[in-house]
Structure formats: structure tokens, C-alpha cells
Amino acid sequence: MTREFSTVGVIGLGTMGAGIVEVFARNGIDVVAVEIGDAPLERGKGVLAKSTGRALAREKMTQDEHDTLHSRITYATDLAALADCQLVVEAVPESLELKKDLFAQLDQIVSPDAVLATNTSSLPVTQIAVATANPKRVVGMHFFNPAPVLQFVEVIKTVITADDVFEDIKALAERLGKRPVVVGDKAGFIANALLFGYLQPRRQHVRDQVRHPRGHRQRDAVRLWAPWVRSPCSTSPDWTRPTRSSTRCTARAVTGCTHRVRSSSRWSAQVCSDARADAGSYSYAAPGSPEVVGDH
């Protein structure tokens, strides 16, 4: 029997999680949005309010639609609030151990027929699934940022995902106005597999600049001519701190090159640190804020 998802849960209200909440609420689905504490919960509310406020100002939605969207969202800091959700989507940081621990907890909270979905961009969904007592109900549902705008959604089916779970999530993505693409549980799925192949020679190029005594001149020229070249390092937190190891694992699997990718990972941490020291390609109003401000 096809599942009719009327209430879903979203864990994590960063830029990605807040966007996913908005997508569900825009399409008439009640959402339980969960964060680990009051402070990140308030930040997440701010991200969502900023996005919907912008849509309202640009006449992408009416005041009634705006108010109705927000009325569909319930906020919580306790996973127990997800007990009645038919689907839970996690959008927490890219740490395999964190996601496995989270799914093990959810397994004890939601009903046996509820679906558990991960928004991971590159971690193995199968390894996340086996942390639960029923890995057949675990699937990947990878949205892209900004989630309310981009239609592309990767639906990742593992070798143990139940067919009805997979079909129901694919149908849900279509109901949300997205264009789901079916992907096997392989390194990088589709988008990141392509991205790593694209970025690897450019990362090598920038590393050569860093080593060169006059490399800063080349970096300045690149930034002025093509700022997108350094954007992955200067604007995305996924290249630093806890996600660096998962990025390295994905890069190894995608490129098939272990030694070079390993050294590239060490280099990327340094370059990202250097890039962030001068605020990267964009400056924001405050840590965690989605508001872009001019350079001072």
C-alpha cells in the first residue's frame, strides 16, 4: 500500500535542513523540525523566516500562503517529538558515526512502518541503514541547496532498501515538485562523483600556487577572473573539520587514487583555513547567518 506522507520530521535546521522543512511545508505537509538545543533551533527558525520572507517580498507567495506554511511547522529539541512522523529526514553534519547513532535512536522512537531517510551527500547509506534493526526502511533522499529552488533530488536505494519504501520516496519527491534521479549506493552518488572529477585538477592547481613563492599573485588573479574556482573551499563548511575524512573517503572511491587524494585532503584543510581567514568569496552578517553583506 502506498504511503501517504502527511507528517514528516526533519532533524537539523542548518541551511540545508531549514530548506527541506520549507519544501515540505510549502506542499501541504505538516513538519516536526528538531534541533539539538534552543540556540540552534532559534537560528534555524531565522534561516527559514529569512527565506520565506524573501519569497513574500518578491511576491512568490501571498501573505496567507506564508502564514499557512509556518503554521504547518512544529519545533522541538527532543527526538521523541518525531514519534508520530511517517517519514524522518536527517540533515545533520556529514559524520558517519553521528548519523549511525541518530538512526539507532530513531529506530526506537518512530513506528515500525515509518521511513527513515538521510540527506547525506556522499556517505554510504548502507552503513547508516545497518545501524537500525530494520535497514529495509532506510533510504537516501539528497536535496540540493537551495532546496526550495533546485528540482534535483537524488534518491539512493541500497541493496537492502525495500522496493515499496524506495517507490514511495520517489513518488514523494515528485509530489514536492522535484525531479528525482534514482542512484545506487555508490561513492559520491551522481553529483559528487562528477564534482570530484571536476575539482581534483583545480585543487592540484591551487596547491601548486600555494607552494610557489609568488603564488598569492596567481590566487588574486584567479579570484578576480573566476571566483567560482575557490568557492568550494571558501564558502562550504563541508570541506573542513569533521567532514574532511568523509570527503577523503569519497574522493578515493570516485577517483581511484589513494595517495594523491590523501595528500590533497591535508592540503585542502590548509587552503580552506587560509581562504576563510580573508572571509572567502562572501561575507556574512554573523556566524551561521544566511545574510550576505558587503566586504568592509
Q: What integer pLDDT is reported at residue 182 of this predicted model?
A: 86
Asked if 154 is an active-site residue, the reply is yes
Specify the residue for cell string 504547518.
72
Question: Which of the residues 142, 234, 246, 265 is marked catalytic?
Answer: 142
Q: What integer pLDDT is reported at residue 10 of this predicted model?
A: 98
Strand positions, DSSP E, the chain: 7-11, 30-34, 73-76, 87-90, 115-118, 138-143, 152-157, 179-184, 283-284, 292-293
Q: What integer pLDDT is reported at residue 237 of this predicted model?
A: 40
Asked if 121 is an active-site residue, the reply is yes
Q: What integer pLDDT is reported at residue 272 of this predicted model?
A: 43
At residue 118, what are phi and psi to the nearest 5 degrees? -110, 140
Q: What integer pLDDT is reported at residue 244 of this predicted model?
A: 47
Question: Which of the residues 192, 234, 265, 268 is marked catalytic?
Answer: 192
Question: Which of the residues 121, 234, 265, 268 is marked catalytic?
Answer: 121
Among 254, 145, 252, CA closest to 192: 254
Question: Which of the residues 35, 90, 94, 154 is marked catalytic?
Answer: 154
Q: What integer pLDDT is reported at residue 108 of this predicted model?
A: 96
- pLDDT (tens digit, 0 to 9) for every residue of the chain, 296 residues total? 688 899 999 999 999 999 999 999 999 999 999 999 999 999 999 999 999 999 999 999 999 999 999 999 999 999 999 999 999 999 999 999 999 999 999 999 999 999 999 999 889 999 999 999 999 999 999 999 899 999 989 999 999 999 999 999 999 999 999 999 888 887 656 666 566 666 666 666 656 655 555 555 555 555 554 554 444 444 444 433 444 444 444 444 444 444 444 444 443 444 444 444 444 445 677 776 767 776 54
Pairwise CA distance, residues 3 & 229, whole Å: 43
DSSP 111-149: -TT-EEEE--SSS-HHHHHTTSS-GGGEEEEEE-SSTTT
| Helix, coil or strand: residue 164 | helix
Q: Which pTM value belongs to this model?
A: 0.72
Pairwise CA distance, residues 143 & 176, whole Å: 11
